[in-house]
Every structure is written in structure tokens, then in C-alpha cells.
Amino acid sequence: MQTKRRIKFSIFLKLVLLIIVFIIVANLLLGFFIRFSLIGPPIGQFNKKAPPHLHEFIVREIGYPPDTVKAMSFVHELNIGIRFETPEVQWSSNEDIPGIKELSGEGEFRNKDERHPFDYKGRPYFIEKIPQGFVILSPPMPRDSIDYQRAILAVIVIVSVLGLLLYFSLRWIFGPVKKLSEGVEKIGEGNFDDEIKIDRSDELGLLADSINKMKSNISGMIKAKESLLIDVSHELRSPLTRIKLANEFVDDLEIHNMIKTDVDEMEKMISGLLETYRMEKGEEKLNLDITDIVDLTKNVISKFNGAKIIFESEFKERKINIDRAKIEIVLRNLLDNAIKYSEGKQVEVKISGEKNNGDKTLLSIRDYGNGIAAGEIEKIFEPFYRIDKSRDKKISGYGLGLSLVKKILDLHKVVISIQSEPAQGTRFLLTFKS
Ligand code: ADP
């Protein structure tokens, strides 16, 4: 049986992560866009990063006496401040541009003949000397910072809402995937009764319909195969009885015994098959009764005359609620296998209580025979499964014993576990609840 794949990273989780990444990236990109395209470079960048002749160019373009219309167009275009300071003209685009006196007062600005980038109260200015006096260029004015914050906030809200809308839309589109996977899992477990109901007319709806169709086809095929098997098994019973009867008239003892062995084997197989089927269909009900498992086990062991079986029990008597006849079949089959597949080596049967849970009863059947490879352990409970057909050929059997064992134990809700190593032997451990 294939090991079950577990979901490590669900697509819904991936979807959530994708949307979160989308929201963060979109916010960052839009934030940068607003910051640099709409609001302009940060304060101070203009005077430091502007091309060296830009200030000179601006001053030249405005001319003297200053063309204030042109000056204002630079002011708006570049978001800067301009102040003309000559004996004749005292003009300033903004009130807060410091005059040459204030700037000189800072002490740094001494050589009034040069063009000069100049830091005043933490803001960079540029002073351009013209023949008539000075032009002071101030850095870009901080635009209304509340507007800027609002714009960023609006972008975050819009992008987040879009992200959420995207998430819910994708969730709606892919929602049926979960239903589909649950439905397919049920089919894998052998439940062919429930339909996958997806009321959608897209590809997922179509997929659900195809799976439903496939399911009913498979279920029909299995039913046909089952009923063929059961019918044939039933029909074989009468000829077998007739052979048995006729065999009583065979005088040659050797031939008589040969026929008897073969007929007995066939009968065993047919009743095993029919019993497994009834158990599977739930036709067989458990006849639960408080039973002493120690006594029952001893009783079953006593029927294996000549086999080397060592029995050990922690309890003299251990009463549990089981169907005695069915658990007898389980013990018989497990012991039969242990003896068959260990070629006469000793078999150990032990009854004990679970250490941490006094209520539980453990029954172990251990042999020192062929053992079972790890990959085969799950498969041996399947009907008609025999590990190595050539290895087990000389050992009689049809691979039905353990499948019946499993069905009976499942009905009892008894857990069966196997520890085995090839060529070392096998331990079957049954854990009874009470
Ligand atoms: P069978 O009638 O072949 O014994 P079972 O259903 O009882 O059918 O067992 C299925 C297969 O599991 C066997 O054919 C055998 O290969 C393997 N098996 C069962 N019990 C043991 C065991 N105690 N040791 C080794 N192999 C075992």
C-alpha cells in the first residue's frame, strides 16, 4: 500500500502568502511611485544632485531685472524657491527664503563672488552671484505633508482591499478543490456510496462529474466481480459435497486420502471466501460475550498437536468482551501461519497487560521463521495476497487467512501490529481494549 501523502503546504496557504506578497510589493511600488513621481525628490536633493549648470541656467533664463513670470514657472515646475536680492530688486517667490544677510551671519558664506552651495539651518541653499547682487535658490519646498501621508494611506487601503478581493475570488474559484480531494480520498478508501456534489459549470464541476462517473463504473465492476466470486463459491459447494460422498466409495486408501485432502482444502478456501465477503458486507454480526482470553488461547493451542508452542500469560484469567467463535478463527489462522512459515521452529504465545494502560490486553504470537519484508507488511492483509508465490508454493494457502483476521479484528476494533524481519521471524501483536 502506498504511504499516504500529507499536505505540507496547502494551496490555500500558498494563496494567502501570494496575496500578502502581492499587497506588500504593490504597496511598496506605489509608495515609491508616489514619493518620487508625484511629490518630487526629497528636500535637499535638488541642490545637491542637480546638474552643475542648472542653477546658472535658471538665473540666466530669468534675466535681469527678473522676469517674475518665468521665475514662478521654474518655482512650480521644480518646486523650488527663488529670491532676488539686489539694491534695486528685492523679490522672493516664498517668504521663508533667508536673505543674504541672514546667510552671511552664519559665518560660512564669506566669498560673495562665487557660486556657492550652502547649508543653512539644516537646509541646502544655492547662492548665485550676479553683477547686480545675489540670487538665492532654495531647495524644493516640502509639499503639504498631510497630503503626502494621505496619498500613501489611500494607496495602502486600496491595494489591501484589492488584495482581499483577489483572495476571496481565488478562494471561490478553487473552493471545490477541497471537496474533490475529500471525495477522491473516500473513493480510495473503498467508499463508493457518496457522490461528490459540486454545483458548478466550470472545469472543476466537469471534473467532479467525471469522478462520479468513474466511481460508479468502478463500483459496478467490483460488485460484478464479487458476485461472480460468491456465486461460483456457492455453486462449487454442491459438486464438492458430491465428490466427498463419492470418495467414501473409493477403496484405494491412498487415492481416497489424496481426494479428501484436496476437497478439504477447497472447502476451507470456499468457506474462507464466503466468510470474508459476509464480514465485509456487514452481514456478519458480532456475538459479543465476556470471555476468558487465556482459556480461549489455551484451547486453540491444544488443537495444534505436535507443534512446538510455548504459552505464557501474566494472568490466570483475563475476561474481555469478544465474539469467542470469531476470535478463535483469528488465533487459529495466526498460529497456523506462524507454524507454517517457520518450518517447525518454536512459536511463542504471550498474554500480558499494557504497562501504561491497565485496561488493555496484549496478545502476541511470535515465530522464528521466514519473516516478512517491510514493504510487504501492509499487503498481506489483502485477499489472495501471498508474498512470494514460489517461496510459499510448497506451503498450502490462498492468501485469505489474514484478510479474514483483519476483518474480524476491525469489527472488534482490535489493533493488530506486525514486527518482522526476513529470516528472523515475525511477531503479530493484538491489542484488545478491555
Ligand atoms: P496463506 O493462506 O497464504 O497463509 P494468509 O492470508 O494467512 O494466507 O497470509 C498471507 C501471506 O502472508 C502468506 O502467504 C505469507 O506469505 C505471509 N505470512 C503470513 N503469516 C506469516 C508469518 N508468520 N511469517 C511469514 N510470512 C507470513
Q: Grid coordinates 508465490 are at which residue? A: 389
Banded model confidence at residue 334, pLDDT cuts 50, 70, 90: very high
pLDDT value, residue 243: 93
Where is average pLDDT lowest: 47-56, 98-107, 124-133, 201-210? 47-56
Of 332, 367, 389, 402, the one to substitute when testing ligand 1's pocket (max ligand atoms within 8 A of C-beta) is: 402
> Does 146 or 191 have the greater pLDDT score?
191
Helix (H, G, I), strand (E, B) or coil at 269: helix
Contacts of 65 (CB under 8 A, 6+ apart): 88, 89
pLDDT value, residue 105: 66
pTM greater than 0.95: no
Mean per-residue pLDDT for 345-373? 90
With a 6 A CB cut-off, is 387 part of the ligand 1 pocket? Answer: yes
Mean per-residue pLDDT for 264-281? 82
Where is average pLDDT lowest: 120-134, 349-363, 378-392, 393-407? 378-392
Give the Cα separation of 196 and 405 in Å (integer).
Answer: 32
Tally of CB atoms within 10 A around 235: 11
Residue 147 confidence (pLDDT) above 50: yes
Give the Cα separation of 206 and 214 in Å (integer).
Answer: 12
Residue 48 confidence (pLDDT) above 70: no
Give the Cα separation of 208 and 219 in Å (integer).
Answer: 16
Residue of 55, 83, 80 lying closest to 68 (CA atoms): 83
Calculate the average pLDDT of the chain: 83
Residue 303 confidence (pLDDT) above 60: yes
Mean per-residue pLDDT for 20-47? 68
pLDDT value, residue 2: 45
With a 6 A CB cut-off, is 118 part of the ligand 1 pocket? Answer: no
Banded model confidence at residue 342, pLDDT cuts 50, 70, 90: confident
Where is average pLDDT lowest: 131-140, 142-151, 185-194, 257-266? 142-151
Instruction: Take atom 20 of ligand 1 and give the residue whose Cα is closest.
Output: 337
Give the Cα separation of 15 and 18 in Å (integer).
Answer: 5
Q: Is 358 exposed, middle or buried (0-12, 13-18, 19+ CB in 10 A)?
A: exposed
Residue 237 confidence (pLDDT) above 60: yes
Cα-based distances in Å from 12 to 8, 15, 222, 423: 11, 5, 35, 48
* DSSP H or E segment with residue 144: none
Mean per-residue pLDDT for 191-203? 84
pLDDT value, residue 315: 93
User: What angle do helix axes 176-188 and 203-247 make, rounded to 10 degrees?
Assistant: 10
Of 336, 341, 365, 391, the one to substitute when testing ligand 1's pocket (max ligand atoms within 8 A of C-beta) is: 341
- Does residue 151 come out as left (phi exceeding 0), alpha (psi in the -120 to 50 range) or beta? alpha
Give the Cα separation of 169 and 199 in Å (integer).
Answer: 17
Mean per-residue pLDDT for 252-272? 89
pLDDT value, residue 110: 52
Residue 190 confidence (pLDDT) above 90: no
Residue 70 confidence (pLDDT) above 80: yes
Cα-based distances in Å from 212 to 192, 194, 204, 216: 9, 9, 12, 6
Cα-based distances in Å from 155 to 21, 29, 98, 121, 158: 16, 10, 36, 33, 5
What is the Å distance from ligand 1's center to 378 Cα? 12
The percentage of the chain sitting over the pLDDT mark of 70, rounded to a whole number, equals 86
Residue 272 confidence (pLDDT) above 50: yes
The percentage of the chain sitting over the pLDDT mark of 90, rounded to a whole number, equals 30
Looking at the DSSP bridge assignments, the partners of residue 2 are none
With a 6 A CB cut-off, is 334 part of the ligand 1 pocket? Answer: no
Buried (b) or exposed (e) across 9-18, using 16+ Cβ within 10 A? eeebeeeeee
Residue 38 confidence (pLDDT) above 60: no
Of 309, 380, 400, 408, the one to substitute when testing ligand 1's pocket (max ligand atoms within 8 A of C-beta) is: 380
